[in-house]
Amino acid sequence: MCKYFRLGLGIILLLLISLPSPGRDLLLKNGTVLPVTRGTLNHCDILILNGIIAKIGPNIEPPEGIKVVDASGKYIIPGIIDSHTHIALTGTNESSEPITPEIDMRDVLNADDPSIYTALTGGVTMVHTMHGSANPIGGENIVLKLKWGKSSEEMIVHEAFRTLKFALGENPKQANRMVMGEQRYPQSRMGVIAIIRREFLKAKDYLKDWERYNRLKTSKKFSSNIIPPRKDLGMEQLADMLRGKMLARCHTYRADETLEFLALSKEIGFKIACFEHVSEAFKIAKELAEDKIGISIFADSWAYKMEASEGIAYNAAFCIQKGVLVSINSDSWERIRRLFNEAAKSMKYGGLSENECLKLITYNPAVQLGVDKIVGSLEEGKHGDIAVFNEHPMSAYTRCDMTIIEGDIYFDRNEYLKEREEKTATKDKEKKDKGDTNED
């Protein structure tokens, strides 16, 4: 009995360890709060209890024992969300085959990727980290909170939409290589859309077979001799797309191919959450707005390859004015630390307001990822995911001084600089001592 008790206790302890840790308590005092969903709040406090924003307002009295951060002269915004990146992964493309929906990015999460800390220095608290674009149908993406120092499991945001990566155009058609002595298909733009259609038609048949079998199981005609359809992990993912349990995130640039994929989604019956990059979105803003499909794009990068040659810096602002839900992404381990600068470019290119630009990297990506009920704006009841800047985040001279996730401070610039100075002083002393020893 004692043996089984110890075994049971061990299992319980393992389960407790795997559970996400509760958030921290924190009070930010006297900052300029930019909630995004309402106007600026001057000389305002934010109280976070157990990782959740409990109160926003002036002159909040700190509960006993709580950590207090003086934010006087600082700007407080929602944690920045990068809706398209590839950080925190040990691999991004499985390009041995063109169709790999069974690939799951959670299998290659890397909680030790230093890019996580780089992102935190720029106020980023959440990312949508994705399969690459070598495949017409790639793998399942994942949404993470950048809890540096925690396990991969603790980073996963379970409230987010499930998304599957698709890619059109140059990337998948140029990812050709010899596999088992044969050239990989597709090799053309028309081949890319054709192979996606082919796989979805297979998935429709697969889904019908399982629906027929499940109906038989509940009928009087069911016999143990009836064999279930063969399980196919790739088809299971596409079947979930058809069931509405997963949404498409599609890499695309040209307007014509984007419309072609949109038409395919209506023909087959799956939903698109967002188009990625889509530098020609301004040409089809009306169609995107009508179908309530968002876009996740660069601020002003174009002409770095042929299919991006007709991009414009006014893409974000123009599409917002036409009613499209737009987010600005990094698609980079380096640009991720300055997404606030990228968002601010739409003030120059398109005349967006400061708040509209701020939404490009906070509230809008939260809606696109299905997490706007917990993050994306500063509101009571939402997670305490916050970035603190020394100047307005849309200023060219601003910097992020502190990044907070669920009340826990993951980046503090003052502490970082202090630690760096101490390490430098220690190294200098060691060099000096070594030099003195050599002289003796």
Token pair 């009841």: residue: 381
Query: Cα(272)–Cα(247) distance, rounded to whole angstroms?
Result: 6
Instruction: Identify the weakest region by mean pLDDT among 172-181, 277-286, 315-324.
Output: 172-181
Query: Cα(307)–Cα(100) distance, rounded to whole angstroms?
Result: 24
Rounded to the nearest 10 degrees, what angle do helices 255-268 and 189-217 cross at?
Answer: 20
pLDDT digits (tens, 9 = 90+) for 197-256: 999 999 999 999 999 988 888 887 777 788 889 999 999 999 999 999 999 999 999 999
Q: Write down the pLDDT at residue 296.
A: 98
Local structure of residue 434 (DSSP, 8 states): H
Token digits of residue 284: 């089809």
Query: Cα(251)–Cα(69) distance, rounded to whole angstroms?
Result: 41
Task: Name residues whose C-beta falls within 8 Å of residue 326's C-beta, 6 or more positions apart in sequence.
Answer: 294, 295, 296, 297, 316, 319, 320, 360, 364
Residue 266 has pLDDT above 50, yes or no: yes
Token pair 């709060």: residue: 33
Q: Write down the pLDDT at residue 15.
A: 42
Residue 92 has pLDDT above 70, yes or no: yes
Evaluated on CA atoms 214, 216, 222, 226, the torsion sign reads negative
Task: Name residues whose C-beta falls within 8 Å of residue 440's C-beta, 6 or more positions apart in sequence.
Answer: none
Q: Write down the pLDDT at residue 41.
A: 97
Token digits of residue 39: 């106007």
Residue 322 has pLDDT above 50, yes or no: yes
Which fold does the domain 80-375 belong to in CATH?
A: TIM Barrel (3.20.20)
Local structure of residue 63 (DSSP, 8 states): P
Which fold does the domain 20-79+376-440 belong to in CATH?
A: Urease, subunit C; domain 1 (2.30.40)
Q: Write down the pLDDT at residue 183.
A: 76
The residue ranges of DSSP E strands in 100-162, in sequence order, are 124-129, 137-140, 142-145
Q: Write down the pLDDT at residue 341.
A: 97
Percent of the chain exceeding pLDDT 70 equals 92
Evaluated on CA atoms 386, 360, 144, 393, the torsion sign reads negative
User: Any idea where the domains of the chain sit in the sequence?
Assistant: 20-79+376-440, 80-375
Domain 20-79+376-440 shares a fold with domain 80-375: no
Of 77, 85, 90, the C-alpha closest to 127 is 85
Residue 272 has pLDDT above 60, yes or no: yes
State the pLDDT confidence band at 179, using cuts at 50, 70 and 90.
low
Token digits of residue 336: 């991720």
Task: Name residues whose C-beta falls within 8 Å of residue 141's C-beta, 6 or more positions apart in sequence.
Answer: 105, 128, 129, 130, 131, 163, 164, 165, 249
CA geometry: angle 418, 419, 420, nearest 5 deg: 90
